[in-house]
């Protein structure tokens, strides 16, 4: 039996209602291709339902190869094109590539301020980013982008005295109410992307330098294997969901 809260037990998390499709959303990721793999179906769904989605991709992904003839500048240029093509396939409104060096993302003031500024410019209701707090190995770019974005959302974007240059430039403070953390050990929120899975696949296939020669047929076979394994045809993307303002619990009847 669950121990009551006053005895140190953990109260059950209040059930959160499903997210309405936001009017504006932002996806903050470390590398070109991260978003398509972890939340491409959710982005495709939201774009199809009229949401304006902005991507912020922190690094150029310029180390992501085993090709001995490749060099970083060339790879970054290829991956930028791949990311822009994937955004077009999904219907993403704007893609901001910050071009930091792959593998060297640092949780530091300047980059944090830039993420704050981009959030104040684009004013998303929901942000998807990496879960910085997963156990075990986690790519340092994923971890640091997750920390930078979480810190930007709470409380820096909201507080007008944080990064006051934004206000001088006419950018108001902003409240982001929801973060969906991708790659979580402990997801508690699922988006049904069954109807949008094929569009997600179109976007994944744009990342030709990253998919090791896999074809559409390979991905379709992997999907069918997953459906057979799980015993139903629903395809989901799963997240840890943080809501800054929780909806009030239902009132007890008098
Ligand atoms: Zn990545």
* Distance of CA 171 from the midpoint of ligand 1 (Å): 30
* Distance of CA 164 from the midpoint of ligand 1 (Å): 31
Whether residue 1 is contained in a domain is answered as no
**Residue 57, strand partner residues:** 29, 97
* Distance of CA 11 from the midpoint of ligand 1 (Å): 35
Q: Please tell me the total count of domains within the chain.
A: 1
Report residue 37: phi and psi, to 5°: -75, -40
Whether residue 56 is contained in a domain is answered as yes
* Distance of CA 165 from the midpoint of ligand 1 (Å): 31
Whether residue 14 is contained in a domain is answered as no
Asked whether the predicted pLDDT for residue 134 surpasses 70, the reply is yes
Whether residue 52 is contained in a domain is answered as yes
What is the Cα–Cα distance from 29 to 10, expressed in whole angstroms? 32
* Distance of CA 199 from the midpoint of ligand 1 (Å): 20
If you write DSSP's letter for every residue of the chain in order, what string do you get? Answer: -PPPGGGTPPPPPPPPPPPPPPSEEEEEESSTTHHHHHHHHHHHHHHHTT-EEEEEEEE--TT----TT--HHHHHHHHHHHHHHHHHHHT-SEEEEEEEPTT-----HHHHHHHHHHHHHH--SEEEEE-TT-SS---HHHHHHHHHHHHIIIIITT-TTSSHHHHHTTPPP----EEEEET-SS--EEEE-GGGHHHHHHHHHT-GGGTTT--HHHHHHHHHHHHHHHTS---EEEEEEEESSPPPPPPPP-
* Distance of CA 26 from the midpoint of ligand 1 (Å): 17
- Residue 1: the pLDDT is 47
Q: Quickly state the pLDDT bin for 67 (edges 50, 70, 90).
A: confident
* Distance of CA 245 from the midpoint of ligand 1 (Å): 29
CATH number assigned to the domain comprising residue 61: 3.40.50.10320
Residue range(s) defining the domain that contains residue 128: 21-243
* Distance of CA 69 from the midpoint of ligand 1 (Å): 22
What is the Cα–Cα distance from 138 to 180, expressed in whole angstroms? 17
* Distance of CA 190 from the midpoint of ligand 1 (Å): 21
Whether residue 121 is contained in a domain is answered as yes
Inter-residue contact 84 to 95 (CB < 8 Å): yes
Report residue 156: phi and psi, to 5°: -65, -45
Per-residue pLDDT averaged across 1-5, rounded? Answer: 51
Whether residue 133 is contained in a domain is answered as yes
Per-residue pLDDT averaged across 41-59, rounded? Answer: 98
- Residue 246: the pLDDT is 62
Whether residue 254 is contained in a domain is answered as no
Inter-residue contact 94 to 126 (CB < 8 Å): no
Q: What are the pLDDT digits (tens) for 135-173?
A: 988 999 999 999 999 999 999 999 999 999 999 999 999
* Distance of CA 142 from the midpoint of ligand 1 (Å): 6
Whether residue 2 is contained in a domain is answered as no
């Amino acid at each position: 039996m669950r121990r009551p809260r006053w005895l140190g037990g953990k109260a059950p998390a209040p059930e959160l209602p499903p997210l309405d499709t936001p009017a504006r959303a932002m996806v903050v990721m470390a590398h070109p291709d991260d978003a398509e793999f972890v939340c491409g179906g959710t982005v495709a769904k939201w774009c199809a339902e009229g949401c304006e989605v902005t991507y912020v991709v922190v690094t150029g992904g310029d180390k992501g190869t085993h090709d001995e003839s490749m060099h970083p500048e060339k790879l970054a240029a290829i991956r930028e094109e791949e990311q822009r093509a994937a955004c077009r396939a999904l219907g993403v409104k704007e893609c901001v590539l910050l071009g930091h060096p792959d593998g060297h993302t640092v949780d530091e003031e300047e980059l944090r301020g830039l993420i704050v500024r981009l959030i104040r410019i684009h004013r998303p209701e929901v942000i998807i980013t990496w879960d910085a707090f997963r156990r075990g190995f986690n790519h340092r770019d994923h971890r640091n982008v997750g920390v930078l974005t979480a810190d930007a959302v709470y409380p820096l974007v909201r507080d007008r005295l944080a990064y006051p240059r934004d206000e001088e430039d006419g950018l108001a403070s902003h409240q982001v109410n929801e973060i969906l953390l991708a790659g979580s050990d402990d997801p508690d929120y699922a988006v049904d992307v069954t109807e949008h899975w094929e569009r997600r696949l179109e976007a994944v296939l744009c990342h030709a330098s990253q998919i090791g020669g896999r074809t559409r047929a390979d991905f379709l076979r992997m999907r069918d294997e997953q459906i057979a394994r799980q015993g139903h045809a629903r395809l989901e993307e799963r997240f840890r969901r943080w809501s800054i303002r929780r909806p009030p619990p239902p009132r007890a009847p008098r």
